[in-house]
Amino acid sequence: MWIHGNIILFLNIHLCLYRRYIKRVKKYEQARLEDVLQPGLRVAFYARVSTEEQDCTMQENAVEMFLGRYGCEIGEELKYIDSAVSAMKIPLKEREELQKLISDAETRKFDVIVTYKNDRLARSVEEHQEIRKRMRELNMHIVVSSTHELYTVGEIVPQTVKDGLTQIEAAITQERTRDTFRSKAKRGKWFGGKAPYGYTYRVIEENNGGEKTRKEKFVCNKEQQKVVKEIYRLFEIGYGLQQIANEIKDRKLDQNMKWSKEKIRYILTNPFYCGLMSMNRYDNGVLNDQNQWVKGTVQGVTPLFTREYWEYVMKLFENRKKRKIHSRDYSTPFLLRGILYCHQCKELMTTKNQEPGGVKYTRKKTEEKRRVYECKNCDFKLQAKTIHERFQSEYLPYVLEQVTQQKKDHVELEIEKRLKKEMKNLKDANKKLDEKIVKLNQQIEELSEEIKSYYEKEIIEDEVLEFMKIIMSHRTNKIHELNTVKDNKIGSQERIDHIAQTIQQKKYLPPHEVLNGFMKENVDTQKLRVFLLQFFKCIHVASDGNLVLEINERLMGL
């Protein structure tokens, strides 16, 4: 009987507590502004601004005017301001003042919270729901002054719709910003940020007959541009990115700059130096394919390099990135290592230094004579110096002549044929992209109409609301897809235009300045080897030293 009585008492206590909880929840959910905002209550104010240039004065003034109608005011030490914080970029848990606000709410430091708009608290539906749930647990109300509404669970349906609209509005704002940047990039206009190394961006205001005009101008920094040219030169002859950064630092070419391989990569891959504005080159530090770039010709800037030379360097960069060529392969004294094969067994010739006893090289003449190419299968060796001299005197002049000539010989016709085929494929692809653009526009329009039809209803059921969120998300994805397709078409059309110009002007071949030095007596062997590794698929050598060359036409398609 005693145990039975205690159980009944225990159940009665918990039933009483549960009834109090239900009563408190109902009171919370059914609260009105007049119940929440009463004279003498401690009021906390929360504000957020996205950039350092903005301030919260307007938000605070609007909230104070609103509170005055209810005989309330913001507490002296109850202002919580998140400055230069984007709700889209900074997660809820990383916003210091908002977290402090929630922490102080837990200790009942104030009685109610007021903010200017609900998008000051969060931008995503999930974060809105998280804040609302926590405030309900704490029995703490948040008031939105701009709409004279309670930010409460009792208003979950309309609030969720507003939360969704807030998220969509932020996404649209971001998309508009991207579209503005894309448009500027395509027109060759500067869209903000720091000017490329070697240039200074200035805006000059002019007064023409009482009418003020703004003129954008890029001023050349001659000293920095010398460094840029040296970076390209070093990369061209085979230096790696970190090697170039070390070289620039060691030679103290620009001590004001912190040189790193990332900085070198950014300079090498920037088409601004050949007169092109670009956007979307990098995504989280990773270089995108060129067909994803948005490019346009910069007006009023003298390019540092020709477009053909920059593309040639980019071709080198892409080949090394794909590990077709490694920078350390250039430093070998064996000019033909990696491309010289035995003509009889078709195996790669190995390289060997015959210095007796493994002693390091001591005299240059001895080095040259004792370096050999060897085929172990066919058991023959060839002096490296002999092969190098024969290649450079008997074969290289003919190859360079074939590369640099401008007549419509077999090689040129083959390249032109390949370029025309590529242009035809791109045009066919563009037709499909046009069809996709039309289809996506139709889908976006249909989704917009469907969303609009739901908004026109007086009452929105919970199930319909969830469906609306899915439709809104689907429309946003379609808008992103449409913009991507449009960018791909623009990139494809630019490639078509460039191919047409290349065919018209016969710009098939590497820049002549790259090849001019190869016939000099004191040739730069590293630079020559860069050319050989990319231009030749392989060179076959017989035991008597005769060579058979197989040319890689990919390089000639630049």
Measured at the CA of 167, the angle between CA 163 and CA 169, to 5 degrees, comes to 110
Give the integer Cα–Cα distance in Å for 512 and 526.
Answer: 17
pLDDT at residue 366 in the model:
47
- In our burial notation (b when 16+ CB lie closer than 10 A, e otherwise), range 357-378 reads eeeeeeeeeebbebbbbbbeee
d(CA 296, CA 275): 9
pLDDT the model gives residue 122: 80
- CATH 3.90.1750.20, applies to 217-329: yes
DSSP string computed for 164-206: HHHHHHHHHHHHHHHHHHHHHHHTT---SSPPPTTEEEEEEEE
Distance between CA atoms of residues 164 and 465, nearest Å: 10
Give the rounded distance of the alpha carbon of 287 from its chain centre.
7
Q: Which residues of 471-491 are buried (b: 16+ CB within 10 A; e: fewer)?
A: bbeebbebbeebeebbbbbbb
| 3.90.650.10, 3.40.640.10, 3.30.230.10, 3.40.50.1390: CATH of 24-155 | 3.40.50.1390
pLDDT (0 to 100) of residue 139: 86
Q: Nearest to residue 535, comparing CAs of 405, 421, 342, 402? A: 402
Residues 6+ apart with CB under 8 A from 473: none
pLDDT at 456: 64
Delimit the domains of the chain by residue range: 24-155, 217-329, 332-406+512-557, 410-505
pLDDT number for residue 109: 94
What was the pLDDT predicted at 157?
A: 42
Reading phi first (left if > 0) and then psi (alpha if -120 to 50, else beta), residue 300 is in left
CB 143 within 8 A of CB 37: yes
Catalytically annotated residue among 50, 83, 492, 543: 50
For 121-146, give one letter per residue: b (16+ CB within 10 A) or e.
Answer: bbbbbebbbebbeebbeeebbbbbbe
The reply to whether 50 belongs to the active site is: yes
pLDDT of residue 201: 78
pLDDT in tens, the chain (558 residues): 444 444 454 445 544 544 554 455 556 667 777 888 888 899 999 988 876 555 678 888 888 888 988 889 998 889 998 886 665 567 778 888 999 999 999 999 999 999 988 778 886 767 888 888 888 888 888 998 887 788 764 444 455 445 445 555 555 455 555 555 566 666 666 666 678 898 887 777 766 666 666 677 788 899 999 999 999 988 876 678 888 998 899 888 998 889 998 999 999 999 889 888 877 787 777 787 777 777 777 777 888 888 888 888 888 888 777 654 455 556 678 888 888 888 888 888 888 886 554 444 444 444 445 789 999 888 899 999 888 888 888 877 777 766 655 444 555 666 677 778 878 888 888 888 888 888 888 888 888 887 777 666 655 566 666 667 777 777 887 887 888 788 778 877 877 887 787 777 665 444 444 455 666 666 667 667 766 766 676 788 888 888 887 765 544 433
Cβ neighbours, 10 Å, residue 17: 10
pLDDT at 558: 35
pTM: 0.41
Using the 8-state DSSP alphabet, how is residue 257 labeled? S
DSSP assignment of 430-493 equals HHHHHHHHHHHHHHHHHHHHHHHHHHTSS---HHHHHHHHHHHHHHHHHHHHHHHHHHHHHHHH
CA separation for the pair 485, 546 (Å, rounded): 53
